[in-house]
Structure 1
Amino acid sequence: MVLVWLYSTNELTLQLPKLDSIGHFLGFFFLTWLLSALLKQPLFNLAMCLTFYAALTEVGQHYLGFRNGEFRDFVADILGIALFVTVKYVWIKFSENKQ
């Protein structure tokens, strides 16, 4: 879990990420995993397409009356995608070195 230290009004406070941002992070991590397994596309192409999709969803939410697009959620989406790509890349390199 990511903890953020904020400096406001001359005191250091601890702020946990919003539950919604954690959901975005996990959702895009597992979405990347699922699409990687199903589509068998290069990781870079998949990551770029999902980044574009994440941006579109946040912009779309901005224009809905009952939702709001937040930059924090977009960053959580990107971090979820990046974590999966990193884990898979390390897994591939580890598998190559093992053989």
Structure 2
Amino acid sequence: MLNAYTKAINKRYNRKGSLFQEHLKRIKISEEEYFLNLIIYVNTNASHHQIDDFRTYKYSSYAALISQKETLLKRDEVIQFFDDVDNFKYVLKSKNINVDVIQEISLE
């Protein structure tokens, strides 16, 4: 039903695509430095914006990455970039992030 509604509106207003939400813009991650900074940025973002402590923020992947519980995340692949879980925790706690790298690549 929603598909028919979308088609009707698109036809009527000579438009294409989704009505309710724009598609996400994706950026291919091809540089390791960008990937590492992005992991730090995403996981510490709640603290950065003073929403919550990133270590306890329920919408963060941090808890899943440091635990041994089953997860759909590719935990081992992420942690290996930081050598081990302890170093991952240390890096995120120190928030040693290069925001310029993220902004530079994101704006391209």
Relative to total residues, which structure has the larger strand share, 1 or 2?
A: 1
Q: Which has the larger radius of gyration?
A: 2
So what's the TM-score if we normalise by structure 2?
0.32
So what's the TM-score if we normalise by structure 1?
0.34
Relative to total residues, which structure has the larger helix share, 1 or 2?
A: 1
